[in-house]
Structures are given as C-alpha cells and as structure tokens.
C-alpha cells in the first residue's frame, strides 16, 4: 500500500507539538490510528484519518497548509507523511514517538 521512500519528512517531538497546537491554528493535525484507538483517547484538535483508508481520504487535506501527523508510536504517521510527500504535499511533519510519548491531556 505504501512505498518505502527516502523522502525527508520533518519530525517534531510531542512537546513541540503541544506548543505548536497552542499557537498555530492554521496547521492541520491528523491522527492516523484506527478509529477504536482514536476513540480510546486522542489529542484534542486532532482529526482521525486511519492509515488503513488513508489513500482514499488524503485528498481531503489542503496542499497549502502544514500537515502534522501522529499515531501511536510514530511509524504509521511517518508512512502517511511520506505518502503525502509522494503525492506532492510540501509541508508535512511527523510527530516522533506518537501517543506513546504524549504526556498531555487526552480526550
């Protein structure tokens, strides 16, 4: 489904994500975990777009905004980020460590 690529996707920590979400309302924040994982607890402000259907839904994402992607550990979000880069998205950021590293509130 997803090709491994050598695209350099910028990564941020969960601490950086927390700070960015306080001040940057223009970026699009995506959680690519499956629906049940997302419903068990997610970062407020994240939109759920499961990786399993990402190739069908990614086109809803605007190409002119920063896309910040997270998952449980950072692996699925990196796959999604690299896929977006392959589709021509320029400003894509992966959250390293994902929910496992998140120490903020969950919804």
User: Percent of the chain, pLDDT > 70?
Assistant: 93
Residue 90 forms part of a structural domain = yes
User: Whole-structure pTM over 0.85, yes or no?
Assistant: yes
| 69 falls within a domain | yes
Identify whether 65 is part of a domain. yes
Catalytic residue among 30, 49, 70, 71: 71
| Position 5 in a domain | no
Do 66 and 28 form a contact (C-beta atoms < 8 A)? yes
d(CA 18, CA 24): 10
Instruction: Quote the mean pLDDT of the chain.
Output: 94
Residue 65 known to be catalytic: no
- Looking at the chain, the whole-number percentage of residues with pLDDT higher than 90 is 93
| Separation CA 16–CA 40 (nearest Å) | 23
In a domain, 4, yes or no: no
Is 106 part of a structural domain of the chain? no
Q: What is the pLDDT of residues 57-104, one digit of tens each?
A: 999 999 999 999 999 999 999 999 999 999 999 999 999 999 999 999
Residue 60: phi and psi, rounded to 5, are: -70, -20
CATH code of the domain containing 93: 3.40.250.10
83: in domain: yes
Helix (H, G, I), strand (E, B) or coil at 93: strand
Domain enclosing residue 71, as ranges: 13-101
Into how many domains does the chain fold?
1
Is residue 3, in this structure, part of any structural domain at all?
Answer: no
What integer pLDDT is reported at residue 41 of this predicted model?
97
Q: Are strands 47-48 and 67-70 parallel, antiparallel or unpaired?
A: unpaired
């Amino acid at each position: 489904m997803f090709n491994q690529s050598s695209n350099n996707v910028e990564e941020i920590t969960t601490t950086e994500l927390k700070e960015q979400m306080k001040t940057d309302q223009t970026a699009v924040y995506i959680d690519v975990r499956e629906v049940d994982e997302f419903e068990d607890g997610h970062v407020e402000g994240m939109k759920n777009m499961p990786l399993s259907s990402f190739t069908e839904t990614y086109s809803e994402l605007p190409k002119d905004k920063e896309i910040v992607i997270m998952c449980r550990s950072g692996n699925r979000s990196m796959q999604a980020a690299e896929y977006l880069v392959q589709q021509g998205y320029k400003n894509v950021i992966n959250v390293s460590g994902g929910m496992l590293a998140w120490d903020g509130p969950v919804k």
